[in-house]
Amino acid sequence: MLSKLKQAIIDGDEEAAKSFSEKISSEGMDPLEAINGAVIPAARAAGEKFEKGEFFVPNLLLSTDAMKAAINIFTAGMSEKSKEELGKEGTVVIATVEGDIHDIGKNIVALLLEVNGFQVHDLGRDVNSMDIVNRALDVKADIIALSSLMTTSMPSQQDVIDMLKAMKVRDRFLVMIGGGSVTEDWAEEIGADGYTETAEEAVRLAQALMKKGGTG
């Protein structure tokens, strides 16, 4: 069933994706197992097809819709369960940085953080750096998580950190960065507190950062 869901997402068949997701949910599979087993691999496969020239933008948009529909079905069951846990682990402000509209990976990171007990303020995509800083100050975030999929938008991750420094509030926040174009070296160069390649590792990083130096 997971492979059928994966294929439906790659094909951009939203109705089939919904029906397989509902079936998987009703059979009682752990939603995270379903997301990791079908949705994330489908996102990767669609991305690879795009890079090889087998897929065009309309294909990707259909895949994205099918992906979002599946994630909505899996998270419907999770939200009730996680409500009482919400915020226990810490507060995160997450965004795709200015100049970048890619949000599939960021949405997965936000979702996994939330189901793992973080209170997540998802500001969306192409978000102005100052807006990110202001919201982090407003909600007294512990962590600022910044996603960037393009080399052209990576400097916006640096902007956020530079603004925190200029406002003399850098030490109030833990900053983690990620997204397709980001590397460990970049994280070091701009003075981020951490980087991971996958959403699952992002949760472990957030937990580790909170243990090391939660800002309260």
CA pair distance 8, 62, nearest whole angstrom:
10
Tell me whether residue 90 or residue 99 sits nearer to ligand B12 (CB atom): 99
Q: Which residues 150-209 are close enough to bind ligand B12 by CB under 6 A?
A: 150-152, 176-181, 196, 198-199, 202
Q: Which residues 61-80 are close enough to bind ligand B12 by CB under 6 A?
A: 64
- Residue (of 180, 189, 95) closest to 144 by Cα position: 95
Q: In whole angstroms, how close is the CB of 26 to ligand B12 at the nearest point?
A: 26
SS3 label, residue 192: coil
The β-bridge relationship of strands 174-178 and 118-122 is unpaired
The answer to the question of residue 12 lying near ligand B12 (CB under 6 A) is no
Q: In whole angstroms, how close is the CB of 53 to ligand B12 at the nearest point?
A: 10
The answer to the question of residue 145 lying near ligand B12 (CB under 6 A) is yes
Tell me whether residue 26 or residue 151 sits nearer to ligand B12 (CB atom): 151
Q: In whole angstroms, how close is the CB of 208 to ligand B12 at the nearest point?
A: 12
Tell me whether residue 26 or residue 61 sits nearer to ligand B12 (CB atom): 61
- Residue (of 98, 105, 111) closest to 42 by Cα position: 105
| 76 contacts: CB under 8 Å, gap ≥ 6 | 25
CA pair distance 4, 20, nearest whole angstrom:
7
Q: In whole angstroms, how close is the CB of 46 to ligand B12 at the nearest point?
A: 7
Place of tokens 């909170």: 210
Do the beta carbons of residue 86 and residue 128 sit within 8 Å? Answer: no
Tell me whether residue 23 or residue 60 sits nearer to ligand B12 (CB atom): 60
* 8, 10, 97, 109: residue in contact with ligand B12 (rule CB under 6 A): 109
Q: Which two tokens stand for residue 182?
A: 């980001």
CA pair distance 116, 36, nearest whole angstrom:
15
- Residue (of 175, 101, 102) closest to 132 by Cα position: 175
Write each residue from 89 to 108 as x if it is in contact with ligand B12 (CB under 6 A), else as -, in one continuous string: ----------xxxxxxxx-x
Please report, as ranges, the residues that interact with ligand B12 according to CB under 6 A.
40, 43-44, 47, 50-51, 57, 60, 64, 99-106, 108-109, 145-147, 149-152, 176-181, 196, 198-199, 202
